[in-house]
A and B are shown apart, each in its own frame.
Chain A
């Protein structure tokens, strides 16, 4: 009987390598840098091609105590969540690869305030830093420009950089040596288009991470899943404007969902709250990793541990 030939798939394209953070040698102060991308295969198919860098996990911290977060999260982070510097340290201790600092929407957000917080976090951790504004164009522009100045040379990732405000954010990234998180709403063509607009302003492609947005499990996750799968296929087929590592925020999406957030008035069939909530976060995340995510932002340290275990298992071959 003729032997079965393993059906391998060789691609012409390759995901671009992107490095987050800069050490003293490169003009920053980070203890280490994190490089993602470089894959010449769909996720974790080592018989098809190379995956030189494993996907990485960032932990989300916020500039002020997030009172509206699920009690499960507030309990597990405890007092650390009351101060961004100690929160960053705690996240690093729990094994995060990156810190994702999110500024919550607040009336007295200002550039100076944002500078102060970013400085505290940079001083508290040696991990590369991703900084997101509240997602409102005006506030984002205000604080991210100041953050870019304060973090000069650190190769921060600034987000979100959307069609509405990309000019300001990209200009700040260009001037101060940072990267941007290019976010579009679950659509292959919109994603490509924004990358083109950003690179037309002169930001090198290896300073862009693509953020195709996702929903949590049960809340549109499958759209994000298929959009990411299509983007990665396009990248491997040689489409340069999709050959960027992808960042998604399954933690934020999960913990907005009722399943994770609360145990009040929910059906008995939903089961134990903590078990369900952690499963919601890790399953949203693991499914997105299987479809091409390179950077995932999580909220719960137990999810961090499990997802890192899964990534390690998938990287071994």
Chain B
């Protein structure tokens, strides 16, 4: 946990009991008039510890440790693709945001004939969601008694995604690491039985290492993590050895709390979670603290909703997803179809578009640039006014597509009618309903 300015000051030369250090107090070499002033700036992250040449070794390591993130950032990589987990700072997304999307890995086995085909399909899969190209993140290869190294090699050739090596056998692990050369895979896992050999390999091949305990035993997990850390492995991933809904939720929550609320460095690592073939369990891991989430199989009809779920949960609540302002065609509208105004807040847009789409009624939707706010909020904040709407109408070239000159204003901003008539003298302005759900009925009864 970050230290306050005063706590930092206690570790600087100005507070030292050692006269050899104390004599430097307020020497200004850091560029600040006093040690205290420097401490305050450090606390606000506006200065770097290295600016003071006189800090004692012990203080230095304490200060450095306090500056490290409470959950270490772990990055797996291959060919430019990265899968990253860690660096989270909150328990609930509304407290700030979740930063690093849970990485989704699909598992293949080394005795599976189509392992390379699956890897290729996973690597090639991409789906559009509100203008974003969503993809999966990697392939996990499980040692199931087949040719592990050959499978790793085949998978590596078939996709350019990062790899997780799932084996407890150090001999196979080394063969797998060699086959994965040129990438940063996750070696999974060190156990109480094999940790020395695994830690050695992780260090030698510079691969992050999973430590696995049984049945959510956190003490055993910490003990193992400390051991591999002692052996020189810094990039650690935790597998507390739970696989079911209830224990996963409990143990992952405990780990997140320990890292963030108790400042427990020994568990300050991301979690690897296994969802089997259950999309809902994968969903739980995405929302509740899985860093790397391994699925047993790949299918677009499951991957798509999971990727959308992840995009939703990891959206910054302060920066809602926006849609591009412009003209949107719903249900193949003809020139005589109605024209409606809405804003570019994604949820507002989707509510309107969805109601129209499901009603089957064709229409033109003019999405005004309201800086990602809903109709009412944007109006209150001055981001949706007659001028902006008129600008949209004029610049998006909607008039050329229509055989009429009538537009429907959202009911919530009926007050804009007068001004809009002035801005758009050729147009007839109609006031629509306030809620999107009432739109189909309005169109059926009021637009003729």
Contacts and interface: CB of A to CB of B under 8 A. Distances in A.
- Chain A bound to chain B: yes
Interface string A103-121: 0010000000000000000
A60 to B, nearest CB: 16
B426 interface: no
Interface in A271-306: 271-276, 279-280, 282-283, 286-287, 290-291, 306
Nearest to A269: B127
Interface of B: 92-94, 125-129, 218-219, 222-223, 226, 244-247, 249-250, 253-254, 257-258, 261-262, 264, 266-267, 279-281, 283-284, 287-288, 299-306, 308-309, 311-313, 315, 317, 346-347, 350-351, 354-355, 357-358, 437-438, 441
A97 interface: no
Interface of A: 1, 3-7, 9, 44-47, 68, 105, 135-136, 215, 217-223, 225-226, 229-230, 233, 256-259, 261, 267-276, 279-280, 282-283, 286-287, 290-291, 306-307, 310, 313-317
Nearest to B311: A218
B279 A316 contact: no
A258 B127 contact: no
A175 B301 CA distance: 48
Given A218-B308, A219-B347, A47 B250 contact: yes
A9 B92 CA distance: 14
B301 A310 contact: no
16 contacts: A1-B226, A6-B254, A7-B254, A7-B258, A7-B262, A45-B249, A217-B308, A217-B309, A220-B347, A226-B93, A229-B93, A261-B358, A270-B301, A271-B301, A271-B302, A273-B301
A222 B315 contact: yes
B314 to A, nearest CB: 9
Given A6-B218, A279-B301, A226 B309 contact: no
A218 B93 CA distance: 17
Contacts of B309: 217, 221, 283, 287
Contacts, number: 163
A44 B247 CA distance: 10
B299 A229 contact: no
A313 B245 contact: yes
Contacts of B267: 4
B351 A219 contact: yes
Given A1-B226, A218-B350, A223-B347, 9 more contacts: A44-B250, A105-B441, A217-B305, A218-B312, A225-B312, A230-B92, A257-B354, A258-B354, A283-B309
A276 B304 CA distance: 8
A233 B91 CA distance: 12
A96 to B, nearest CB: 18
Contacts of A283: 279-280, 283, 305-306, 309
